[in-house]
Amino acid sequence: MLRLITLNLGGGVKNFMGSPEQSAAKIEAINTLINQVKPDLLACQEIAQYIDADGNMHSMVDQIRDGSGFDQAYYGETLSIKKHMQIKKDVMIRAIFNDWWDWSKGNALFTRVPFCRLSDPTKGGVPRNVPIFQPIVYEGSRNTDPRYVILSRLKIAPYPYVLNLHLSTLTGERGENAWQDAIDAAQSTRQQQMARILGLIEEAVLQEKKPVIMLGDFNAQPDEYCLKGMLEEEKSFVRLKPVPDLETHGSAGQLDHIFFSPRERLISYKAQVVDNKLTRSLSDHLPVVADLEIE
């Protein structure tokens, strides 16, 4: 039995980089949620850290790990000032005038179960941060945001692989003024990224029928081809469908999902979207929680 939660913190990161009071309040709210849900594993997207003018590290990963009692945490950087400095990115300009040495954001995995080696589950190991999209030039827009997947494995039978990901969304594909070319381009981009993820695990995991959990912010509705077609129909992943299965929840859009493969190793599951005042204060996403029993 495993309890999982996935949460995009993009809408909540700004307060973390504000005043010390705002930062402390944000971390306290996140840890309150985690301590209420009590997951074995937390997958975060758009989590941030920075080094201030005095060389002190301010890390959401460290503060969530320590405040929520996780045994291990892994941070996979996707974007940073040192690698991607761009004056169109407001946070990077703010960092310069605050004399920060660096700022970065990425994905993270927190777990109460030890990580193990990808090749040998009897030995402790470290996850890998694998690129699935790297632009030639970062232009400060979501269209050129680098995308990575964290690939890990848990040291508990049946030693499932866990992938935490954040797929692309493009400017112009959402909202009342969305235009079809942007929608088509975005869906094509996500298909390419999903194909790279599946290619990454095809031989070592999928063909061997080893258990794998894929979760995160897919930026895709359940019926989009990269999910319904590529994962469910072609690779027989099971989407852990939350009850009630609402595609959106008021002002907080929920595009996060949890998938499992192979379906014959899934004994049972229960999933839900946590929609309350606390979760709406944390981000523009709502967390998805799933309890699953696998063999």
Mean pLDDT check: name the lowest of 55-69, 205-219, 239-253: 239-253
pLDDT tens column, 113-144: 999 999 999 999 999 999 999 999 999 999 99
Model pLDDT, residue 252: 46
Pair of tokens at residue 203: 């031989």
Question: Could you identify the residue written with the tokens 């944390």?
Answer: 282
Which of 277, 284, 272, 295 is CA-nearest to residue 4?
A: 272
pLDDT of 243 > 60? The answer is yes
pLDDT of 18 > 90? The answer is no
pLDDT of 91 > 50? The answer is yes
Summary mean pLDDT of the chain: 93
Model pLDDT, residue 15: 66
CA distance 149 to 278: 28
Question: Could you identify the residue written with the tokens 């995995």?
Answer: 109
- Does residue 19 contact residue 69 with C-beta atoms inside 8 Å? no
More confident residue, 286 or 167: 167
E strand or H helix at 101, and its extent? none
Q: What are phi and psi of 132, to 5 degrees?
A: -120, -10
Other Cβ atoms less than 10 A from the Cβ of 226: the count is 22
Model pLDDT, residue 250: 42
The residue ranges of every structural domain in the chain are 2-294
E strand or H helix at 193, and its extent? helix 180-201
CA distance 289 to 270: 8
CATH 3.60.10.10 matches 2-294: yes
pLDDT tens column, 192-232: 999 999 999 999 999 999 999 999 999 999 999 999 999 99
Regarding pTM above 0.75, the answer is: yes
Model pLDDT, residue 283: 85
